[in-house]
Structure 1
Amino acid sequence: MDEPRTPQARRWWHLDPGGAALGLVFAILSVTPSLLPRPAAAQGAITALSFGAGYLIGVLLWRWLRRLIRPEQQRLGGRAAWIAYGAAMVASIALLSGLSLHWQNDVRRMVEMPEADSTHVGAFLAVFVPLTVVLLAIGKGVRRLSRRLRGRFSPLIAGVVTTSIVAGVALAGGAGALAVVDSIFSGLNSGVSAEVTEPGSAHRSAGPDSAIAWESLGHHGSDFVGGGPSAARIEAVTGLAAREPIRVYAGLESAPTDAARADLVLAELERTGAFDRSILVVATTTGSGWLEPQTVDALEYLHAGDTAIASMQYSYMPSWYSFLFDPDAPVHAARTLFDAVYERWSQLPADDRPMLVSYGLSLGAHGSQAVFADLADVRTRTDGALFVGSPNGSELWRGLQAARDAGSPAWQPVLDGGREVRWISRPGDDSDLPQPWQKPRVLYLQHATDAVTWLGPRLFWQSPDWLEPDQRGADVSPSMRWIPVVTGLQVLVDMMLGDQVPAHHGHNFGNVVPSAWRQVTGDAGLDAAAFARVQAIIEDYAPIKSTLE
Structure 2
Amino acid sequence: MLVISVVISYLIALYPGTLPRDAVTTTVLATGFAAAGATIGMLLSRRASREPDPQSVRVVFGVGVLVAAGGAGLAVWWQSLIRAAVGAPPVGLDWWAGATVAPAAAVTGIVLIPRVTAVVAASAVALTAGLLAPANADDGQPLPTTVVVSESQTLLRGQLSPLDFDGAAARLVKSWLRSGGLSAWAVVVAVPTGSGWVDQAAVAGFVDRFDGDVRILALPYADVESWKAFISGDAAATGSSVALIRELAEVLESRPAGQRPRLVLYGQSLGAVGADAARVWLEDHHPSMLAETVLTAPPAETVAHGSATPRAVVANRSDPVVRWSVSSLWRPPTRPHDTVLDGPRVPVVPWLPVVSFLQTSVDLLSALDGPAGVGHRYGAEQARPVSGFRG
- Normalised to the residue count of structure 1, the TM-score between the two structures is 0.56
Deviation at 1:274, TM superposition (A): 1.5
CA contact (8 A) 1:113 1:502 kept: no
* Pick aligned residue for 2:145 from 206, 216, 221: 216
Q: Deviations over 1:48-96 (max 9, x none)?
A: 33224433443443344x12x2xxx35969xxx99x97x9999988766
Deviation at 1:30, TM superposition (A): 1.6
* Partner in structure 1 of residue 353 of structure 2: 484
Helix, strand or coil at the partner of 2:293: strand
Q: Deviations over 1:248-276 (max 9, x none)?
A: 11243x67532332222122112222122
- Distance change >3 Å, CA 351–CA 36, structure 1 → 2: same
Q: Distance in 1 between matches of 2:226 and 2:104?
A: 31
* Partner in structure 2 of residue 507 of structure 1: 376
The answer on 1:61 being equivalent to 2:44 is yes
- Distance change >3 Å, CA 464–CA 249, structure 1 → 2: closer
The answer on 1:329 being equivalent to 2:258 is no
Q: Which amino acid counterpart does residue 5 of structure 2 have in structure 1?
A: L
* Partner in structure 1 of residue 222 of structure 2: 315
CA contact (8 A) 2:268 2:298 kept: yes
- Distance change >3 Å, CA 482–CA 514, structure 1 → 2: closer
CA contact (8 A) 1:98 1:121 kept: no
Helix, strand or coil at the partner of 2:294: strand
* Partner in structure 1 of residue 312 of structure 2: 443
Matched positions, count: 368
From the CA coordinates, give the structure whose radius of gyration is larger: 1
- Distance change >3 Å, CA 386–CA 292, structure 1 → 2: same
* Partner in structure 2 of residue 415 of structure 1: none
Q: Distance in 1 between matches of 2:222 and 2:297?
A: 20
* Partner in structure 2 of residue 359 of structure 1: 266
CA contact (8 A) 1:504 1:511 kept: no
Q: Distance in 2 between matches of 1:514 and 1:455?
A: 24
Deviation at 1:373, TM superposition (A): 3.4
Deviation at 1:311, TM superposition (A): 0.7
Q: Distance in 2 between matches of 1:46 and 1:451?
A: 17
Q: Distance in 1 between matches of 2:361 and 2:298?
A: 15
- Distance change >3 Å, CA 265–CA 375, structure 1 → 2: closer
Moved more, 304-313 or 111-120: 111-120
* Pick aligned residue for 1:493 from 335, 358, 362: 362
* Partner in structure 1 of residue 79 of structure 2: 104
* Partner in structure 2 of residue 114 of structure 1: 89
| Aligned Cα root-mean-square deviation (Å) | 4.3
Taking CA–CA contacts closer than 8 Å with sequence separation of 6 or more, which of the two structures ends up with the larger relative contact order?
2
* Partner in structure 2 of residue 454 of structure 1: 323
CA contact (8 A) 1:245 1:300 kept: no
Deviation at 1:132, TM superposition (A): 7.5
- Distance change >3 Å, CA 265–CA 31, structure 1 → 2: same
Q: Deviations over 1:462-506 (max 9, x none)?
A: 34678xxxxx9982426x132221111111222332333344443
- Distance change >3 Å, CA 332–CA 449, structure 1 → 2: same
Q: Which amino acid counterpart does residue 90 of structure 2 have in structure 1?
A: E
CA contact (8 A) 1:106 1:477 kept: yes
* Partner in structure 1 of residue 173 of structure 2: 266
Deviation at 1:364, TM superposition (A): 0.7
**Percent identical:** 23
1:103-252 matched pairs, under 5 angstroms? 103-122=78-97, 192=141, 216=145, 244-252=152-160
The answer on 1:295 being equivalent to 2:202 is yes
The answer on 1:276 being equivalent to 2:183 is yes
* Partner in structure 2 of residue 538 of structure 1: none
Helix, strand or coil at the partner of 2:227: helix
CA contact (8 A) 1:299 1:514 kept: yes
Helix, strand or coil at the partner of 1:371: helix
Helix, strand or coil at the partner of 2:352: coil
* Partner in structure 2 of residue 430 of structure 1: none
Deviation at 1:293, TM superposition (A): 0.9
Q: Distance in 1 between matches of 2:221 and 2:38?
A: 42
* Partner in structure 2 of residue 25 of structure 1: 8
1:65-104 matched pairs, under 5 angstroms? 66-67=48-49, 69=50, 73=51, 98-104=73-79
Q: Which amino acid counterpart does residue 208 of structure 2 have in structure 1?
A: Y
| Structure 1: gaps spanning 5 or more residues | 1-17, 144-172, 194-213, 231-243, 401-419, 422-439, 467-471, 521-549
Q: Which amino acid counterpart does residue 325 of structure 2 have in structure 1?
A: G
* Pick aligned residue for 1:475 from 321, 335, 345: 345
Q: Deviations over 1:287-319 (max 9, x none)?
A: 211111111111112222211111121222222
The answer on 1:47 being equivalent to 2:27 is no
Deviation at 1:280, TM superposition (A): 0.6
Deviation at 1:101, TM superposition (A): 2.6
Q: Distance in 2 between matches of 1:395 and 1:445?
A: 12
Q: Which amino acid counterpart does residue 55 of structure 1 have in structure 2?
A: A
